[in-house]
Amino acid sequence: MAAKSTDGELNIDPMHQFVIQDWIPIDLGFVDLSFTNSAFFAFLAVGLVSLFFIMSMSNHSLVPTRMQSMAESCYEFVRNMVHDSCGDAGLKYFPYIFTLFLFILGCNLLGMVPYTFTVTSHFAVTVFLALSVFITVTAIGFMRHGIGFLKLFWPMDAPAAMRPVLAIIEVISYFVRPVSHSIRLGANMMAGHAVLKVFGGFVGALGVFGIIPIAAIVGVTALEFLVAVIQAYVFAILTCVYLHDALHMH
Amino acid sequence: MEGDIGNMGQYIGAGLACIGMGGAGIGVGHVAGNFLSGALRNPAAAKEQTATLFIGIAFAEALGIFSFLVALLLLFAV
């Protein structure tokens, strides 16, 4: 931990909330499979999302109830997003994007409950999600276009002399995609929660004037809810953009 | 006083890396501002372009995130 402030009057350790604790240690020798708080909240997010959809769609009717229309508008929102950006060919991959969106949204919103753990604030989780998207999309591109998928990196409408330079830039930007895709989600969630913790430290330090940072926390919390939803949306729509490149080659 | 000159360099470097976030802020503001000025001129076409808006913001934000990443790497991984 870099920011250690044990002797000052401001006792803030904003990174403490991201510590992973082993709840049930399971060590297989070659791999550490302990059941951690991160795993627990990931399972909880999946469980809550599944429960929501099972509950709302269990006795479905033509005229939807309130719960059913929530689930249906959720479904339609993501389906329209996939259809608008990838066309009819993209609908085949809609379940994958819907699952990604709901998992990230569930983890982000669950992290907003006080004293819970935000699963998506860890780069290990987001890098795994982004790498799975990257590998899936690249595989789809090669399956649909064969070796011709490499033409994605060779801009035909540019002047001939510029093409090799642009090709290098295209290749670099293609391989940077999973980096920015994953770090964006993780950094946004981590930074937001750290800001809340820092402002929380100000409340104790300022005594009666702590009312001012409390007012700020209320605003920042509202902003964090917005960020939680927007980041899930951005992750899903960028997946659609990458999928579009693989399906239609620009 | 504790730490050495290497630690000092780490912290100064992490602070300098955060300057890059200002560029991302300018970029995101530029995207959102131009979207708003376009949307006020033609409100009917604005709703279909919100997805483009978020994609543009996400791409502008990516470079600021790299500077954040450099700061984190300097603080925790060096």
Average pLDDT over residues A185-190: 90
Average pLDDT over residues A199-221: 85
Check CB contact under 8 Å for B51 and A84. yes
pLDDT of residue A11: 58
Q: Is B3 within the bounds of a domain? A: no
Exposure of A234 in the CB half-sphere (CA atoms within 13 A): 25
Q: Is B45 within the bounds of a domain? A: yes
Domain that holds residue B41: 8-77
pLDDT of residue A108: 94
Q: How far apart are CA A129 and CA A182, in angstroms?
A: 7
At A2, the pLDDT band (50, 70, 90 cuts) reads very low
Q: Is A61 within the bounds of a domain? A: no
Backbone angles phi, psi at B9, to 5 degrees: -60, -40
Q: Is the pLDDT of residue A67 over 90?
A: no
Q: Is B35 within the bounds of a domain? A: yes
Say yes or no: A241 contacts chain B, CB-CB below 8 A: yes
| Mean confidence (pLDDT) of chain A | 87
Q: How far apart are CA B69 and CA A17, in angstroms?
A: 19
Q: Is the pLDDT of residue A9 over 60?
A: no
**Other beta carbons less than 10 A from residue B42's beta carbon:** 9
Q: What separation in angstroms does the CA of A211 have from each of A203, A204, A205, A230?
A: 7, 10, 11, 29
Q: Total structural domains in chain A? A: 1
pLDDT of residue A205: 80
Q: Is A208 within the bounds of a domain? A: yes
A3's tokens: 């920011």
Q: Is the pLDDT of residue A8 over 50?
A: no
pLDDT in tens, A92-145: 999 999 999 999 999 999 999 988 899 999 999 999 999 999 999 999 999 999
Domain that holds residue A170: 35-56+67-248
Q: How far apart are CA B8 and CA A44, in angstroms?
A: 42
Residue of B51, B61, B76 lying closest to A81 (CB–CB): B51
Q: What percentage of chain A reaches a pLDDT higher than 90?
A: 46
pLDDT of residue A210: 83
> How far is the alpha carbon of B2 from chain A, nearest alpha carbon, in Å?
12
Q: Total structural domains in chain B? A: 1
Q: Is B70 within the bounds of a domain? A: yes
Check CB contact under 8 Å for B54 and A183. no
Q: Is B2 within the bounds of a domain? A: no
Q: Is the pLDDT of residue A163 over 70?
A: yes
* CATH number of residue B72's parent domain: 1.20.20.10
Q: Is B20 within the bounds of a domain? A: yes
Q: Is the pLDDT of residue B26 over 90?
A: yes
Q: Is B17 within the bounds of a domain? A: yes
Residue from A161, A142, A155 nearest A250 by CA: A155
pLDDT of residue A10: 55
Q: How far apart are CA A190 and CA B72, in angstroms?
A: 11
Check CB contact under 8 Å for A184 and B61. yes
Average pLDDT over residues A233-249: 92
Q: Is the pLDDT of residue B59 over 60?
A: yes
Which of A15-19, A73-77, A192-196 tops mean pLDDT? Answer: A73-77
**Other beta carbons less than 10 A from residue A249's beta carbon:** 13
